[in-house]
């Protein structure tokens, strides 16, 4: 009988050890709506490699690109319900549920700088109790901030001199940026970003919102004749998030590895975007696209107009955030302080990857 008991105990111990080994390693399914190309996908791939390294191989990322598992509009629900473990969450698709992170949508101060804006959002979403709770209510934990770079304006045949000349122009924009310009007097034409080329080429629109690094791959340089540099916020509050149940099942060391990898992602994606943005600016200024494109830099008057037409949408965010039971004024004030903090750090020390 003792021999049988000992054998049984040994078998249990071996099975227990096997189960422990099996649960020590985990593959996290990450859904991303865009194809596997560009700054964001490069940064996400680096993030996956960094997480594997920091967790000693215990955590690996299996990426599902281009809506292969979930389309953009379904990613939030999919991550919240654990159809996927992780994903890129865009506040514009789920404005009520992702109201907190939607602060990243707002055209405030230096938020258009990819590093300053993402760093400020990252710290806000990891230190502000209301912001953490707002995501936790949706069964989401923030991992890292993702930026788009600042919004600019490109035109064809519009002969604009500044923001004031957008009144009466047919304009393609997105989110609060199109709403604000509509309030100002522009005629908004609802099109996707990918439809901007044909719309400008055919005269369906006079001007369009643009991210400078997209001018080359989308071949906008073939048709536009003006670019107005306004550095007006960013297009969307975007984050990498993880299902909270999955997050809570991780060990302490795995959660710490994920935290550090998310911090890495925030800086790495900003680095890639800023490199592409600076290259696009240099190409425009040097006339490197092979045809003339006039570059107009925003004046103090332009900045004053943009600040004025943005106020309503900042107030709307505060109202909607407060309606969910949160201290919106405190979160907004902290975000402003963080934008100033990281802008000063950039000005004094440069970007982290240049130090």
With bands split at pLDDT 50, 70 and 90, how would you rate the model's confidence at 3?
very low
Burial class (CB in 10 A: 0-12, 13-18, 19+), 36: middle
* pLDDT for residue 234: 87
Backbone angles phi, psi at 153, to 5 degrees: -130, 135
Domains of the chain: 26-148+236-291+325-355 (3.40.190.170), 150-235+293-312 (3.40.190.10)
**Distance, CA of 240 to CA of 143 (rounded, Å):** 5
**What is the 3-state secondary structure of 40-59?**
HHHHHHHHHHHHHHHCCCCE
- Cα torsion angle, 232, 87, 277, 194, sign: negative
pLDDT tens per residue, range 127-143: 999 999 999 999 999 99
With bands split at pLDDT 50, 70 and 90, how would you rate the model's confidence at 46?
very high
With bands split at pLDDT 50, 70 and 90, how would you rate the model's confidence at 24?
low
8 A C-beta contact, residue 107 and residue 306: yes
pLDDT tens per residue, range 276-291: 999 999 999 999 998 9
Residue with token string 């907004």:
332
Backbone angles phi, psi at 144, to 5 degrees: -160, 155
8 A C-beta contact, residue 57 and residue 71: no
Cα–Cα distances in Å, from 274 out to 113, 194, 234, 355? Answer: 8, 22, 13, 15
- Rounded mean pLDDT, 321-331: 98
pLDDT tens per residue, range 225-278: 999 999 999 876 899 999 999 999 999 999 999 999 999 999 999 999 999 999
8 A C-beta contact, residue 208 and residue 157: no
8 A C-beta contact, residue 228 and residue 150: no
């Amino acid at each position: 009988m003792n021999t049988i008991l000992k054998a049984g105990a040994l078998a249990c111990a071996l099975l227990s050890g096997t189960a422990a080994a099996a649960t020590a390693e985990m593959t996290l399914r990450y859904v991303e709506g865009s194809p596997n190309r560009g700054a964001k996908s490069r940064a996400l791939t680096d993030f996956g490699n960094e997480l594997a390294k920091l967790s000693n191989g215990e955590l690996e990322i299996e990426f599902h690109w281009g809506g292969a598992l979930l389309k953009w509009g379904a990613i939030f629900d999919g991550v919240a319900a654990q159809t996927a473990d992780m994903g890129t969450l865009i506040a514009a698709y789920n404005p009520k549920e992702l109201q907190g992170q939607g602060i990243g949508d707002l055209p405030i101060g230096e938020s258009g700088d990819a590093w300053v804006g993402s760093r400020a959002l990252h710290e806000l979403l990891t230190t502000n109790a209301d912001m953490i709770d707002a995501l936790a209510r949706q069964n989401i934990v923030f991992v890292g901030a993702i930026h788009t770079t600042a919004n600019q304006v490109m035109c064809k045949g519009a002969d604009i001199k500044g923001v004031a000349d957008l009144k009466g122009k047919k304009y393609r924009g997105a989110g609060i940026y199109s709403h604000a310009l509509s309030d100002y007097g522009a005629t908004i034409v609802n099109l996707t970003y990918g439809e901007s080329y044909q719309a400008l080429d055919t005269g369906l629109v006079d001007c369009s919102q643009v991210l400078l690094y997209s001018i080359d791959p989308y071949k906008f340089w073939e048709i536009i004749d003006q670019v107005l540099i306004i550095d007006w916020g960013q297009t969307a509050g975007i984050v990498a998030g993880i299902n909270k149940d999955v997050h809570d099942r991780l060990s302490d060391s795995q959660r710490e590895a994920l935290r550090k990898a998310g911090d890495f992602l925030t800086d790495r994606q900003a680095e890639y975007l800023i490199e592409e943005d600076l290259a696009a600016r240099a190409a425009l200024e040097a006339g490197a696209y092979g045809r003339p494109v006039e570059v107009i830099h925003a004046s103090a008057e332009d900045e004053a107009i943009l600040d004025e037409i943005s106020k309503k949408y900042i107030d709307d965010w505060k109202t909607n955030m407060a309606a969910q039971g949160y201290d919106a004024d405190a979160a907004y004030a902290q975000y402003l302080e963080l934008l100033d903090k990281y802008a000063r750090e950039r000005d004094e020390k440069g970007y982290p990857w240049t130090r």
